[in-house]
Structure 1
Amino acid sequence: MAGGLVGLYFGAEWLLRGAIGVAQKLAIPTLIVSLVIVGFGTSMPELLVSVRAALTGSSDIAIGNVVGSNTANILLIVGACAMIFPITHWDKGVKRDTYVMIGAAVLLLGLVQFEAIGRIAGLLMVAGLIAYIVYAYVQGKGAVEELADEDVKHETLGTGFMTLLIVGGLATLFIGAELLVRGATNLARDFGVSEAVIGLTVVAVGTSLPELATGIMSALRKHSDIMIGNIVGSNIFNILFILGVTSVIQPISVDPRFGSFDVPVMLGVTIGFAFLLLAHLGVRRLTAGAMLVAYVGYTLALVQV
């Protein structure tokens, strides 16, 4: 299982850097790079783990991975990063994306009440994501977010090397996803813990490693705007893209616990985070500490549900 986590981290890193490098060589607009390639790259661990889990009949891991990742992105990652450098400013486009993030969370809460996410729902979710990207592109012309230096450090290298990074990253991600799903399933079986709890905790945090690494680097460089953009974008991608594509490939059955506890908690956390952004309150260290405590409490509560 540890090998799977390592594979997911490095696979996502190589894929992301290779994709950004190729995009820049081909003169693809930076906005498309930040919206699509960065979002897609950091969400690849969640995608491969969820698809693999769904195909092997572990639907609880598939959906728990996404729900747990979104909750961890806000409470754990934003909380930890804000402890390093308080979040007091962000790009104006985040306001638009915040509303989309809330809408995606509300949509998921509605879908899980049916205790299944089928192919039609998956197609509609992917279509919604495409519409969001197109709208963001139209609205964001001339207001492109600058990519972090770390994301473009291979820019001067050749396209061939970038392509190798992409291929190597994808291969490593596939292997990492396989190891992580197998390890998580065995862990649940050995310790008598439900796959839902494993998916919501260990797997969710593991697949959020790219966001965690990006967030910490952004905080250390005092680029809270980049970190907030990545978290909001990741939470949108996780629901509309990850669950959308997964359910198109393999319809997902949903345990009732997700509709009664886990997704409502995720929605509540999302709305709370959105309020901090929309009200321009930001996330200072006291709030960040409360978020970290809340995440610990949520994790402990999981085993009681």
Structure 2
Amino acid sequence: MVIDSLLVLGGLALLVLGGELLLRGAVGLARLLGLSPLLIGLTVVAFATSMPELVVTVAAGLEGRPIIGVGNVIGSNIANILLIVGAAAMIQVMHPPRGLAKRDGAVMTAATLAMIVLAFAGTLFWPHGLVFLLLLGAYLVGSYVVERRSGTTEPAGEAAEALEAAPQTWLPAVGLVLGGSVGLVIGSELLIEGAVSIAKSVGVSDAVIGLTLVAFGTSLPELATAVVAALRRHADVAIGNIIGSNIFNVLGILGVLALVTPFEFTSELLVFDIWVMLAATALLMAILASGRAIGRGTALAFLAIYGIFIFVQFDTGFATAVQSAVGL
């Protein structure tokens, strides 16, 4: 168990480090290639910040454990809303930008609903993945067009910080991309190996490991970004980053996973976890639509709900009840 825990910690550290290096290098290359700051923020940064989730999910799929990846997507989306928004709002009251619910929030909700429909439809194959990726591409292009028409030329929040920290010349940019990629690959292997061993030793499923340990680990970059933004009194921008991350998780990561290997949602995910994700999405959308600020009271509620969610994942009585409900 000690060795497995060290593998998990080492894997998480490499994922965080590799993701940060890749982000800086990719942004540097994009700028050297002449891409606009806005396009870099909408595409390169969005892709790079989700690389830990993507690499872990693909690696799990290639190793014949795609359910870890599916659980990772669901767990990450839940953590993004309940844990990260809650943590950021505890530091500083958040005032979500007006209009966020109409475009990006609506896309996040639609992607979540599409995921649930397909989850009950059966096995997902490469055509489903291709459609998801095409929809993601359409969203990114649409976002770019809208921002250009509104007169926005500079990215905000995480994208702006990534541009400031990006290298200015080719050699460091390429080196960061290569180094970050290696860190992500090795980190994902260590994380999966350690997580699977821990799952076997404590008697929990791959889905639970994906929903909790792996999802929390791959969400650490978003959590760190949100906390730093809140400390700098820019907590509002974290909402946009979280919504974008959730959209990318569903359309991008599940899309790639379906291209790599067919997969389906397990009964335990369909009975409980996927509905928690939908409820968290609906809760955030209701707050955004109301135009109300997210204060510490709401933040405490978010964190408490996330804590309960994690607790029931490892509660044997709850697991037995779920198995009885699905006839296992």
Q: TM-score, normalized by length of structure 1?
A: 0.96
* Cα displacement (A) at 1:26: 2.7
Could you list the per-position Cα deviations for residues 51-76 of structure 1 after superposition, in whole angstroms to 9, with x for gaps in the alignment?
11111121221100000000000000
Tell whether 2:124 aligns with 1:117.
yes
* Cα displacement (A) at 1:249: 1.1
Asked whether the equivalents of residues 108 and 263 of structure 1 are also in contact (C-alpha less than 8 Å), the reply is no
Matches within 5 A, 1:1-305: 1-90=8-97, 92-93=99-100, 95-141=102-148, 142-144=151-153, 145-148=155-158, 150-155=161-166, 157-303=168-314, 304-305=318-319
Asked whether the equivalents of residues 157 and 238 of structure 2 are also in contact (C-alpha less than 8 Å), the reply is no
Whose Rg is larger?
Answer: 2
CA RMSD between the two structures: 1.5
* Amino acid corresponding to residue 27 of structure 1 in structure 2: G
Q: Structure 1: where are the runs of 5+ without partners?
A: none
Q: Distance in 2 between matches of 1:188 and 1:232?
A: 30
* Amino acid corresponding to residue 193 of structure 2 in structure 1: R
Q: How has the CA–CA distance of structure 1 residues 274 and 180 changed in structure 2, closer, same or farther, with 3 Å as cutoff?
A: same
* Amino acid corresponding to residue 168 of structure 2 in structure 1: L
* Amino acid corresponding to residue 61 of structure 2 in structure 1: A
Asked whether the equivalents of residues 94 and 232 of structure 1 are also in contact (C-alpha less than 8 Å), the reply is no
Asked whether the equivalents of residues 113 and 256 of structure 1 are also in contact (C-alpha less than 8 Å), the reply is no
Q: Structure 2: where are the runs of 5+ without partners?
A: 1-7, 320-328
Identical-residue share of aligned pairs (%): 43
Could you list the per-position Cα deviations for residues 253-284 of structure 1 after superposition, in whole angstroms to 9, with x for gaps in the alignment?
32122122111110110011011112111311
Q: Distance in 1 between matches of 2:110 and 2:283?
A: 14
* Amino acid corresponding to residue 251 of structure 1 in structure 2: P
Q: Distance in 1 between matches of 2:198 and 2:306?
A: 22
Q: TM-score, normalized by length of structure 2?
A: 0.89
